[in-house]
């Protein structure tokens, strides 16, 4: 008989989590102004808000913490991390940063000017935030198939290369300093980008003298999908494929809190010395000296170890299949989920789940609140709240997809807990027609509003 996959690790330490009552959760979420970010973690039973910084470090990573070198300059931890980054990504230069958005801040400080255009595939919200903060524009060139949640395409994160070339031709080249390709693509549902697509984007970038940046938070999961879905890669090693993928880029930004399985950290990988020197100046101002840039030595050690563990095939297989198992269970219950299943998360199509809630009343956020009230499960809205307002017109933006994301932390929850999650969402699905009111905004911040927004029931 064919053997199923099994986790290539065992559990050494456990952490208690708390179930609560429905009455308690109703009070807590009202007090939190219907914003799941405002909940205390003790008020959550299973936390699928994000897979970022929520992973379980290994015994080897914890032991690396004990031998960190905290020297201000030239720490051995810096060189250990440099070696790991070069081995896994091929980038010869790197700058540590405290997390992914800090890497974006430093790199965009060098590359972007007011009025610039940054094409890419559904930029993540902090990436877009850093672009728009500089009065530049992020142009989404994701393939149109990505906006159909039910359509099966193995690489739904791909860039529409014709659209990309049109954008480049229609604008002065001097206004397009870089293209950002996000692997896997979080915003369009944890969907991968194929090697062929990255190669083609790179060819176009080179043709017009534009830099290609990979937003690499979930690069290893992207590589796993290339290995298992793209012709010609099945027999190649994960790290071999990763090296090829990065070879097409000029730089990478990394949120190490995802695929490098650490709780905090990030970095920029850079090919050319000139860009490294320019970025170093901003790194020193914003993050810290270039050999620690926002990270302690022990954290750089744990990150180096995490990069190796996060690029092991057996680990990736169990991680991605745990997420897919959750997706299959939910599909069995009839829940409309985005397919193919994302690498790090399952996304529910909230427009299909709650067709009676108008887009102005935030169906995805409404659904996320109901899931919390029913089962103490915290997930995230990836819809109109997160899409924010147009920076120029200040009108609400309504993205094609209105999704609830159930992001699965790495090496943290059991399959029983995932079954519990699927059943809770299944119960909300059974009573879906009784959900008649959505939400309205009471207060919002001028940028990245979803983190701090205050909401109320729409009929209050």
Please name the residues in contact with 147: beta carbons below 8 A apart, sequence gap of 6 or more: 188, 400, 401
What minimum distance in Å lies between the beta carbon of 306 and ligand F0G? 14
Structure tokens at 26: 């109703």
HSE-CB of 282 using CA atoms within 13 angstroms: 18
Structure tokens at 145: 């198939």
- Asked if 222 is part of the footprint of ligand F0G (rule: CB under 6 A), the reply reads no
- Asked if 101 is part of the footprint of ligand F0G (rule: CB under 6 A), the reply reads yes
Q: Contacting ligand F0G (CB under 6 A), which of 105, 126, 191, 318?
A: 126
HSE-CB of 30 using CA atoms within 13 angstroms: 8
What minimum distance in Å lies between the beta carbon of 257 and ligand F0G? 5
Q: In whole angstroms, what is the distance from residue 433 CA to residue 335 CA?
A: 13
Structure tokens at 442: 């009471």
What minimum distance in Å lies between the beta carbon of 405 and ligand F0G? 8
Q: Contacting ligand F0G (CB under 6 A), which of 190, 266, 327, 409?
A: 266
Segment lying near ligand F0G (by CB under 6 A), choices 61-69, 86-94, 97-105, 363-371:
97-105
Q: In whole angstroms, what is the distance from residue 382 CA to residue 366 CA?
A: 12
Binding mask 42-81 for ligand F0G (x = CB under 6 A): --------x-x-----------------------------
- Asked if 142 is part of the footprint of ligand F0G (rule: CB under 6 A), the reply reads no
Assign 235 to helix, strand or coil: coil
Q: Which residues are marked as active site? A: 72, 124-125, 215, 217, 258, 450
DSSP structure string for 124-190: -HHHHHHHHHTT-EEEE-B-GGGG-TT---TTTT-B-HHHHHHHHHHS-GGG--EEEEESSBTTTTS
- Asked if 257 is part of the footprint of ligand F0G (rule: CB under 6 A), the reply reads yes
Cβ closer to ligand F0G: 294 or 375?
294
Cβ closer to ligand F0G: 43 or 125?
125
What minimum distance in Å lies between the beta carbon of 52 and ligand F0G? 4
Cβ closer to ligand F0G: 68 or 266?
266
Structure tokens at 373: 């009230």
- Asked if 225 is part of the footprint of ligand F0G (rule: CB under 6 A), the reply reads no
- Asked if 105 is part of the footprint of ligand F0G (rule: CB under 6 A), the reply reads no
What minimum distance in Å lies between the beta carbon of 186 and ligand F0G? 4
From edge to edge, which strands make up the β-sheet containing 380-382? 345-349, 403-407, 380-382
Of residues 171-210, those binding ligand F0G (CB under 6 A):
182, 186
Q: Contacting ligand F0G (CB under 6 A), which of 58, 202, 255, 291?
A: 255
Segment lying near ligand F0G (by CB under 6 A), choices 79-87, 94-102, 280-288, 409-417:
94-102
What minimum distance in Å lies between the beta carbon of 100 and ligand F0G? 2
Of 175, 216, 193, nearest in space to 90 by CA: 216
Q: Is 367 left (phi over 0), alpha (psi -120 to 50) or beta?
A: alpha
Please name the residues in contact with 94: beta carbons below 8 A apart, sequence gap of 6 or more: 81, 82, 85, 86, 267, 268, 269, 270
What minimum distance in Å lies between the beta carbon of 104 and ligand F0G? 7
Segment lying near ligand F0G (by CB under 6 A), choices 93-101, 149-157, 277-285, 304-312:
93-101
Of 367, 370, 258, nearest in space to 309 by CA: 258
Cβ closer to ligand F0G: 182 or 280?
182
Of 234, 144, 142, nearest in space to 193 by CA: 142
What minimum distance in Å lies between the beta carbon of 116 and ligand F0G? 19
- Asked if 217 is part of the footprint of ligand F0G (rule: CB under 6 A), the reply reads yes
Q: In whole angstroms, what is the distance from residue 450 CA to residue 387 CA?
A: 8
Using CB atoms within 10 Å of the CB of residue 196, give its burial: 0 to 12 exposed, 13 to 18 middle, 19+ buried: middle
- Asked if 124 is part of the footprint of ligand F0G (rule: CB under 6 A), the reply reads yes
Cβ closer to ligand F0G: 408 or 428?
408
Summarize as ranges the residues that interact with ligand F0G (CB under 6 A): 50, 52, 99-101, 124, 126-127, 182, 186, 215, 217, 255, 257, 266
């Amino acid at each position: 008989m064919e053997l199923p996959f099994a986790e290539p690790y065992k559990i050494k330490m456990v952490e208690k989590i708390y179930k609560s009552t429905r009455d308690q959760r109703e009070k807590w979420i009202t007090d939190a102004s219907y914003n799941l970010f405002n909940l205390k973690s003790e008020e959550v039973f299973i936390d699928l808000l994000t897979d970022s910084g929520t992973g379980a470090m290994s015994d080897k990573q914890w032991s690396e913490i004990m031998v960190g070198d905290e020297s201000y300059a030239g720490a051995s931890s810096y060189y250990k991390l440099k070696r790991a980054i070069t081995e896994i990504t091929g980038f010869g230069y790197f700058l540590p940063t405290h997390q992914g958005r800090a890497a974006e801040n430093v790199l965009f400080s060098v590359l972007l000017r007011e009025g610039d255009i940054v094409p890419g595939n559904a930029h993540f919200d902090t990436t877009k935030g850093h672009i728009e903060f500089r009065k530049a524009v992020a142009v989404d060139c994701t393939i149109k198939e990505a906006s159909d949640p039910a359509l099966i395409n193995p690489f739904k994160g791909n860039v529409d290369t014709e659209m990309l070339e049109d954008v480049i031709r229609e604008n002065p080249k001097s206004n397009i300093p870089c293209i950002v390709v996000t692997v896997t693509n979080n915003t369009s549902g944890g969907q991968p980008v194929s090697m062929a697509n990255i190669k083609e984007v790179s060819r176009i970038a080179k043709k017009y003298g534009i830099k290609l940046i990979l937003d690499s938070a979930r690069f290893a999961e992207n590589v796993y999908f290339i290995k298992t879905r793209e012709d010609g890669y099945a027999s190649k090693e994960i790290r071999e494929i990763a090296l090829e993928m990065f070879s097409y880029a000029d730089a990478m930004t990394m949120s190490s809190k995802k695929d490098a399985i650490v709780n905090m950290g990030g970095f920029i990988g850079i090919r050319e010395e000139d860009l490294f020197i320019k970025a170093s100046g901003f790194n020193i101002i914003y993050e810290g000296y270039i050999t620690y840039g926002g990270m302690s030595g022990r954290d750089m050690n744990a990150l180096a170890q995490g990069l190796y563990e996060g690029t092991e095939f057996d680990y990736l297989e169990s991680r991605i299949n745990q997420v897919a198992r959750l997706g299959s269970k939910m599909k069995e219950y009839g829940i409309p989920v985005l397919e193919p299943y994302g690498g790090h998360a399952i996304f529910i199509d909230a427009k299909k789940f709650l067709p009676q809630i108008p887009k102005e009343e935030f169906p995805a956020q409404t659904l996320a609140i109901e899931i919390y009230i029913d089962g103490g499960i915290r997930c995230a809205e990836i819809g109109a709240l997160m899409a924010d307002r147009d920076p120029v017109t200040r009108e609400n933006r309504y993205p094609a997809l209105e999704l609830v994301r159930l992001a699965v932390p790495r090496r943290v929850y059991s399959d029983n807990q995932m079954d519990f999650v699927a059943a809770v969402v299944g119960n909300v699905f059974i009573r879906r027609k009784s959900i008649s009111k959505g939400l309205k905004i009471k207060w919002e911040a001028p940028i990245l509003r979803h983190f701090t927004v205050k909401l109320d029931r729409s009929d209050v």
